[in-house]
Amino acid sequence: MPILSIQSHVAYGRVGNRAAVFALERLGHEVWPVNTVTFSNHPAMESWKGGIHRATDIAEIIDEIEKRNAFPHCAAIISGYIGDVAIGRAVLDAVRRVRKVNPRMFYALDPVIGDAPSGTYVAAGVPEFFRDEALPEADIVLPNAYELALLSGQTITTVDQAAGAAAELLKRGPEMVVVKGLRHGSSISALLVSGGQAWQATSPWIDVNAHGAGDLFCALFLGHFLLRGDARSALARAVHGVHAVLEKTKTLKLDALALVDAQDELVANSVPVVALPLWAA
């Protein structure tokens, strides 16, 4: 299924579109990547070069994709790091235009704002843009715990609190909220909250010095959901895929996600992870 992926790009590493495009294509999807920034590597490394693209450039690229008569075939749009608010509004413009010709299209919003303990690392106004403008337009929202707290205005220290905050976000428009990276003890979980139910999928925590696991998770969840139409299965498969990649990354002692080496796990027919019910209304 064709997917428009509007995210960051790095030459070295596997974050943003460098993680999402490979994963989605490995699942069999056609991907149209639009890069919001081009960096040499993740800025959290000791040095980096590159910059943010102009919103007008993003809009013009999307215009040209539309001229190829691609929009009616677009099954989903996924957006990640946007650089600034103007780029975010160009993304929402694309969402609305695709929906006009394909109302069944899914918009998956990864509201990249920051993480604990480093905090917020996006430009001024971006968190408010996600909260007030992008969130109501999204079908699927995929925040981490830090981002969920900012979007909901609630304190998130437990899995139950995360599920409750996610349920509050559903009242603003999304069909489902998927919370990634919930650390508890020696485990890490992801939650799916939708339709009065909450589901939790858990894997062992792996401490690796590589970025992009969240971007990979979002791509895997969307990719598996589009293939099967089963959000619970997509949650379990995304958790397994990320765990397998991180495990391989640690084994090989890499500083970037070992996507190529672990690619078969992204498309495994069966996975050991199960999405278990947390609560049901």
CA atoms within 13 A on the CB side of 107: 22
Q: Which pLDDT band holds residue 1 (cuts at 50, 70, 90)?
A: very high
Residue 237, pLDDT > 90, answer yes
Domain that residue 104 falls in: 2-280
What CATH number is associated with residue 108? 3.40.1190.20
Q: Tell me what the mean pLDDT of segment 178-185 comes to.
A: 95
Q: Which residue has the tokens 């919930």?
A: 182
Q: Tell me what the mean pLDDT of segment 52-68 comes to.
A: 97
pLDDT at 88: 97
Q: Tell me what the mean pLDDT of segment 225-236 comes to.
A: 97
Residue 20, pLDDT > 90, answer yes
* Sign of the CA dihedral running 161, 165, 166, 168: positive
The domain total for the chain is 1
Residue 74, pLDDT > 90, answer yes
Is residue 216 within 8 Å of residue 5, measured between CB atoms?
no
Share of the chain above pLDDT 90, in %: 94
Residue 95, pLDDT > 80, answer yes
Residue 153, pLDDT > 80, answer yes
Strands 30-39 and 50-52: antiparallel
Residue 118, pLDDT > 90, answer no
Q: Tell which residue, 114, 225, 133, 125, has the closest CA to residue 172.
A: 133
Q: Tell me what the mean pLDDT of segment 159-173 comes to.
A: 96
Calculate the average pLDDT of the chain.
96
Task: Please tell me whether residue 243 adopts helix, strand or coil conformation.
Answer: helix
Q: Tell me what the mean pLDDT of segment 37-61 comes to.
A: 94
Distance of CA 90 to the CA centre of its chain: 18
Residue 30, pLDDT > 90, answer yes
Q: Residue 88 is encoded by which pair of tokens?
A: 């975010």
Q: Which pLDDT band holds residue 116 (cuts at 50, 70, 90)?
A: confident
Distance of CA 264 to the CA centre of its chain: 20
Q: Which pLDDT band holds residue 193 (cuts at 50, 70, 90)?
A: very high
Distances (CA, A) of 142 to 214, 216, 262: 9, 12, 23
pLDDT at 272: 94
Residue 169, pLDDT > 80, answer yes
pLDDT at 46: 86
pLDDT at 267: 96
Q: Which pLDDT band holds residue 238 (cuts at 50, 70, 90)?
A: very high
Q: Which pLDDT band holds residue 167 (cuts at 50, 70, 90)?
A: very high
Determine the Cα–Cα distance for residues 133 and 241; give it in Å rounded to an integer.
31
- For 69: left if phi > 0, alpha if psi spans -120 to 50, otherwise beta; the answer is left
Determine the Cα–Cα distance for residues 274 and 258; give it in Å rounded to an integer.
23
Residue 117, pLDDT > 90, answer no
Residues 6+ apart with CB under 8 A from 94: 4, 6, 62, 77
Please give the helix or strand (H or E) that residue 6 lies within, else none.
strand 2-10
Q: Tell me what the mean pLDDT of segment 215-224 comes to.
A: 98
pLDDT at 44: 86
Please work out, in degrees rounded to the nearest 5, the angle formed at the alpha carbon of residue 211 by the alpha carbons of 243 and 266.
Answer: 35
Is residue 139 within 8 Å of residue 106, measured between CB atoms?
yes
Residue 266, pLDDT > 90, answer yes
